[in-house]
Amino acid sequence: MGLHDPAGGPAVSLARPQVPGFHPILVGDTLVTCISDGSLPAGIAALNNIGQEEARHLLDAAFAPPVPRTQVSTYLIQAGGRFALVDTGGGRQHMAPSVGFLADNLARAGVEPGQIDTVLLTHSHPDHSYGLVTSSGEALFPNAEVLLHAEEACFWLSPGAETRLPPQAQRYLVPTLASFAPYQGRIRTFTGGEVFPTVTAVPLPGHTPGHSGYRIASGADSLLIWGDVAHVPDIQLLRPEVGIAFDIDTAQAAETRRRVLEEVAVERQHIAGMHLHFPGFGHVERRGGGYGFVPSPWSDLPG
């Protein structure tokens, strides 16, 4: 179905991309580009520590639909002549048809998968790692090394993972292992420190054991890519205690969320997040008893 043209012309088709799906900014001398992989529905039934009526009220107050869509974003980092990609989206083989557009949007941004030399994973959930492979199961990034926190690798990739996973995550194990399989010999773990030029890993455990953010620092500028600190920002920033069913450790995830929100608000830290409204760049402010997201103003220049 299309939209009616008030001038009396034919309906306007919506069967085309809304926007090109990428948005660059400069962090000092480092170019950081949000690359959209698509979006997923974020039903409030998956949230915990909040009643559904209150959740609907908060969404309504934020002018959000009753079933909001959560963005699935990745971030391309260009520094020192090298290319790193933070997360890979959900791919096209196991998730919804509304994700899996990473390669298309990378191409629109002028970058080919073969140019990526480093993939930095915030964690191994499907909407962050399934995009490592093509629909035929081959490595999408043939020249890339994959980096993730040591705790994350141990939890998902070491023997006995099926006994460690909570019931809601059991179905992810086989496709997760398949996504990593083409990169055997090219998977490297870290516990902290610099992982790419200008980029330092920041442990943010709770959502998964090795969930990590990445802080980019260049000159006087910095940007914290915080991964999955929040999935439904219109609710979880105002109410940091609200978790989601995909949290491995609900209490630790909430504690991490409160700590990070307070830190970035006080420090006026520029942030980006995979599930913040596209392109996800902005700041956090104290708002009432919680916090709110202030998107960065759009600019026609990366800087």
Q: What is the pLDDT of residues 85-130, one digit of tens each?
A: 999 999 877 778 889 999 999 999 999 999 999 999 999 999 999 9
**Could you give the 3-state DSSP secondary structure of residue 270?**
coil
pLDDT value at position 168? 75
138: Cβ–Cβ under 8 A, 6 or more apart, which residues?
Answer: 182
Q: Running along the chain, 303 residues long, what does each successive block of 10 average in pLDDT?
A: 43 60 95 96 90 95 90 96 97 82 95 98 96 95 98 93 82 91 97 97 97 97 98 96 94 98 98 96 96 92 70
| pLDDT value at residue 178 | 93
Cα gap 35→141, rounded to integer Å? 15
Asked whether the bond before 279 is cis by omega within 30 degrees of 0, the reply is yes
> Are the beta carbons of 289 and 301 closer than 8 angstroms?
no
Cα–Cα nearest to 236, from 256, 212, 209: 256
Q: Which of 178, 186, 171, 205 minimizes the C-alpha distance to 141? A: 186
Q: What pLDDT score was predicted for residue 16? A: 64
**Separation between Cα atoms, residue 218 and residue 244, nearest integer Å:** 34
Q: Are 146 and 186 in contact (CB under 8 A)?
A: yes
At which residue do the structure tokens 């023997």 appear?
159
| pLDDT at residue 112, as a whole number | 97
The per-residue pLDDT for 4 is 39
What does the alpha-carbon distance between residue 142 and residue 116 come to, in Å, rounded to a whole number?
8
Predicted local distance difference test score (pLDDT) of residue 37: 96
Q: What is the model's pLDDT at position 3?
A: 41
Residues in Cβ contact with 35 at an 8 Å cutoff, skipping those fewer than 6 apart: 21, 22, 73, 74, 75, 76, 85, 102, 105, 106, 109
Domains and CATH numbers, the chain: 22-295 (3.60.15.10)
CA distances from 104 to 35, 53, 88, 190, 247 (A): 9, 38, 12, 30, 30
CB 291 within 8 A of CB 265: yes
So what's the pLDDT on residue 17? 66
- Which residues make Cβ contacts (< 8 Å) with residue 266, sequence separation at least 6? none
Helix (H, G, I), strand (E, B) or coil at 72: strand
Please tell me the predicted confidence (pLDDT) of residue 5: 40
pTM for this entry = 0.92
